[in-house]
Structure 1
Amino acid sequence: MDALHDPQIRVMALHALEYCERLFYLEEVEEIRLADADVFAGRSLHLDLALENALEKSEVDLSCETLGLVGRADIIKKSNGEWIPFEHKKGASRAVDNAHHAWPPDSLQVVAYAMLLETKFGLPVSEGRIRYHRDNVTVRVAVDFDARQRVLSAAARARLLRSSPNRPPVADNDRLCLHCSLSPVCLPEEDRIARNKNWSPIRLFPPDREGRAIHVTSHSAVIRRSNDQLTIQVKDADDLHFSSNEIDSLILHGYPQITTQALHHCAYNGIPVHWISAGGRYVAGLLAGAGSVQRRLRQFKALSSPALCIDLSRRTARAKAESQLRYMLRATAPHQDRPRPCVLAANSIRACVKDMSNAASLDEIRGCEGAAARAYFDIFPELIKNRAPAEMLPDGRTRRPPQDRFNALLSFGYSLLYQSTLTAIVAVGLDPAVGYFHTPRSSAYPLVMDLMDLFRVALWDIPLLGSVNRLQWDPAADFNVTNAKVWLSASGRKKAIALYESRLEEKWKHPILDYSLSYYRTIELEVRLLEKEWAGEPGLFARGRLR
């Protein structure tokens, strides 16, 4: 067997395969492994076992080129001259007719270890044992002909799946998904509702972010590594300490310094680092992990199809324009008091949405999307209350550089949204440089620009206009103004960051999936739904709308 081109199969992978072929594929082919509370509990159990069984052989490494298997048995013991592999499970055994039995994935696993033990010591192994700690029982598993054939068949199936570019379908038994650590990646319930509109999904996708974004705005700040923490040092201020597991991402504004050791620490722990200029322009990002080769190959192949790109672009542009329209109508209700410019803009956006449905090329869709955006931005002054300072009123949409305070805020917020979207795309394992709608003509990643359009209104336009109407901005203190451009001051950046991060934490109810989640998680969910469009499970991408 060529170990380079056909590496040995982990015995734990056979356990995953017996449980769910899709789980095996995600872990072994796409190399996606997430640890949830159950996984950490299992690790803790095995650590305790290693300490308790110091006089026995624990965590024994086993491999066999002939079988093509490799693994690490929990414990092996010798009884009456015969080696016996022991596996320990924190859960309960399978109860059948008031008797205790091993679960099929567990029995397959312990038999595989028994076969490896035979090749290691050259002695027959007739049984394996599994200790289920929840009900405190030990189940004996016979290593007979049928059991050995199960292992060999599973190994053959594993090799076949490993050579396939396509994910297996979700499991028919939906109960398997309830306790699977990869449900947030697999999205089995979302797949079921796409195939069956009457399906009542259970939300397995996590609703909240697990960490928090750390924004460093002081130009004199230095970020260092201190053991398993990041330490932020600012002159004449107390040091700030953050453990790795509480950091979702690190965003540096302007010119803070970060040591090489801190960068290594972020890369190792999967903490994205983003740089945003003092003027609010996204500069660069460090995102660990290149993503699965198979996932990117599927992406490249799919997005080389003009028909798919047109379809995705049409859906994205419609979602953006319809969200703009719904927000504008909601902000200018009731209908009889709606200013005439808003009525005209609404009619213009409706016409653009209708034209998008019939557009036959990307250029036509871009033209409709651009016309809808112009109509939307032109009525922004109508959405700002009269009590707001005149300096906060926008004069159309200007960028690179912004020419007024409102546009400076708009561009800064979009830079924050850019880094959030980029982080989600890389976390999912897609290539941000390969998109379907935006033309790759600048340093901005096309796929990030594509997906940002789904969130501009909800994540920044709405909270920004609300903050202006609440008079949260000081036209003098929060902005730096010159004849050439306008950008945010230090106080303005802090206010904008707080506003954006607060919006990310807010929850909304997805109109199609019918469950609530934070806007932060919504970005990742939409990226995963996009990937499903070319993974054989289409139908749910870009269907979220403002109510």
Structure 2
Amino acid sequence: MSQPREVDNSVVQKNSWHREMAAIYLIEQGTTIYKEYQRFIIYVSEKPKLEVPIREVQQILVFGNIQLSTPVMQVCLREQIAVVFLSQSGRYHGHLWSSEFRDLDQELVQVRRWGDAAFQFQVSQAIVYGKLMNSKQLLLRFNRKRKLPDVERAIIGINQDIEALEFSESLDRLRGYEGIGAARYFPALGQLITNSRFEFSLRNRQPPTDPVNSLLSFGYTLLFNNVLGFIIAEGLSPYLGNFHYGERQKPYLAFDLMEEMRSVVVDSLVLNIVNHSLFKPQDFDTVPSTGGVYLNQSARRVFLKQFETRMNEEVSHPDLQSKVTYRQAIQLQVRRYKQSLLSGVSYEAFLRAM
């Protein structure tokens, strides 16, 4: 059998996968993916084919107009490879997953816990604590040498918000502190950008209206899909969250469990990418009808590789003596949540050490 091939030349397709990746990112419109023996074959007209061993894939992300053959969908269902469907700009549409792998007993526990106010509050308090702590740590780390007064004031304010969490008595109060912390954090994050070609002072989305917001939104989309994949793989329903809520049915548990990982995985990555000039303003396109700003396809491929590199970086996690990748840390956090559901152990957020 021939070895998997990765082609690197001027007509290479813009879809992304390499041997360190656990996910296939299908971003080039008109792509077809089909199955041949134990490999996925990714094909775009008049471009070299990309061959990927099925055993090395955990997730397939489909952006926009991409064709999946029936055998591809069948093997994904059989091998528990999550397929996530998104718009071309990265908005979540839905996912493909076999109902055979649902654990109804666990989902019944989730439903009972969903009505347990004390459980919901404890998990939500831990999530907000983790998010604020990791946000503060990022600001401390990047401001250690620069010592910018505005960033120092934001750190002091976030620290006050963290201390106030202990005295919060309702989910609404927790959501309030999370919102206040974000209002302090993002302007301070913008102060830490040293690349004069990029500015950022306010978080906006749907659509993002500047390049930095575009990078954050795209990074959060990728993080969300990794969290979602692990939730499904653990036999949990992603729709029964604790902190996030709304009238429409959405994967609120994935939104919950990604919160503590936002600054750790995405924000620090975006800050490094921007400050090291990996992108130029010309790498972004603006949609005239909405004002939305998005990475073009070539630049998106670069970002995907940077994201995967970050996900494969090693970090300490208290549940294991040896270091784990960020992707494994996310899996461990999903398992921590599962344990809190089933055994009553308090959920603890992931905290990145300085």
TM-score for both structures, normalised by structure 1: 0.58
8 Å Cα contact 2:333-2:350 kept in structure 1 = no
Equivalent in 87, 95, 105 of residue 277 of structure 1: 87
- Alpha-carbon distance in structure 2 between the residues aligned to 1:266 and 1:420: 16
CA deviations over 1:310-369 (Å, ceiling 9, x no partner): 1110011001001000110111014xx521211221121111111211110000000000
Say if 2:353 is the partner of 1:546. Answer: yes
SS of equivalent residue, structure 1 residue 379: helix
Where does residue 529 of structure 1 map in the other structure?
Answer: 336
- Alpha-carbon distance in structure 2 between the residues aligned to 1:268 and 1:389: 50
How far is 1:539 from its partner? Answer: 4.2
CA deviations over 1:260-303 (Å, ceiling 9, x no partner): 23212211221111122222222221123442111111222123
SS of equivalent residue, structure 1 residue 455: helix
5+ residue gaps in structure 2? 1-18
How far is 1:513 from its partner? Answer: 4.4
Equivalent in 49, 73, 90 of residue 239 of structure 1: 49
Aligned residue pairs, count: 334
Equivalent in 163, 169, 179 of residue 370 of structure 1: 179
- Alpha-carbon distance in structure 2 between the residues aligned to 1:519 and 1:327: 16
8 Å Cα contact 1:299-1:531 kept in structure 2 = no
| Superposed counterparts of 1:345-424, under 5 Å | 345-385=154-194, 388-390=195-197, 392-424=198-230
How far is 1:430 from its partner? Answer: 0.6
Moved more, 298-307 or 421-430: 298-307
How far is 1:441 from its partner? Answer: 3.7
Say if 2:236 is the partner of 1:427. Answer: no
How far is 1:400 from its partner? Answer: 0.6
Amino acid at match of 1:358: F
- Alpha-carbon distance in structure 1 between the residues aligned to 2:352 and 2:326: 13
SS of equivalent residue, structure 1 residue 476: helix
- Alpha-carbon distance in structure 2 between the residues aligned to 1:527 and 1:251: 20
Where does residue 107 of structure 2 map in the other structure?
Answer: 296
- Alpha-carbon distance in structure 2 between the residues aligned to 1:489 and 1:240: 21
CA deviations over 1:237-280 (Å, ceiling 9, x no partner): 12222232121111112212112232122112211111222222
- Alpha-carbon distance in structure 2 between the residues aligned to 1:491 and 1:227: 30
- Alpha-carbon distance in structure 1 between the residues aligned to 2:310 and 2:283: 23
Where does residue 53 of structure 1 map in the other structure?
Answer: none
- Alpha-carbon distance in structure 2 between the residues aligned to 1:465 and 1:423: 26
Moved more, 338-347 or 437-446: 437-446
Distance 1:441 1:379, change over 3 A: farther
| Superposed counterparts of 1:14-163, under 5 Å | none
How far is 1:394 from its partner? Answer: 1.5
Distance 1:424 1:350, change over 3 A: same
How far is 1:543 from its partner? Answer: 4.6
| Superposed counterparts of 1:136-535, under 5 Å | 212-289=22-99, 290-334=101-145, 337-385=146-194, 388-390=195-197, 392-442=198-248, 444-480=250-286, 482=288, 484-511=291-318, 513-535=320-342
- Alpha-carbon distance in structure 2 between the residues aligned to 1:543 and 1:242: 32
Larger radius of gyration: 1
- Alpha-carbon distance in structure 2 between the residues aligned to 1:467 and 1:268: 37
8 Å Cα contact 1:303-1:434 kept in structure 2 = yes
8 Å Cα contact 2:214-2:294 kept in structure 1 = yes
8 Å Cα contact 1:426-1:432 kept in structure 2 = yes
- Alpha-carbon distance in structure 1 between the residues aligned to 2:21 and 2:160: 42
Where does residue 188 of structure 1 map in the other structure?
Answer: none
Distance 1:221 1:470, change over 3 A: same
Amino acid at match of 2:68: I
Distance 1:211 1:463, change over 3 A: closer
8 Å Cα contact 2:120-2:242 kept in structure 1 = yes
- Alpha-carbon distance in structure 1 between the residues aligned to 2:334 and 2:40: 29
Q: Give the CA RMSD over aligned residues.
A: 1.9
8 Å Cα contact 2:30-2:44 kept in structure 1 = yes
CA deviations over 1:203-232 (Å, ceiling 9, x no partner): xxxxxx997211112102111122332211
- Alpha-carbon distance in structure 2 between the residues aligned to 1:484 and 1:504: 30
8 Å Cα contact 1:414-1:456 kept in structure 2 = yes
Where does residue 164 of structure 1 map in the other structure?
Answer: none
How far is 1:442 from its partner? Answer: 4.5
Please identify runs of 4+ aligned residues in structure 1 that moved more than 6 A. Answer: none
The structure showing larger relative contact order (alpha-carbon pairs under 8 Å, at least 6 residues apart) is: 2
> Would you tell me which structure has more strand in proportion to its own residues?
1
How far is 1:373 from its partner? Answer: 0.9
- Alpha-carbon distance in structure 2 between the residues aligned to 1:347 and 1:364: 20
Percentage of identical aligned residues? 28
Amino acid at match of 1:262: V
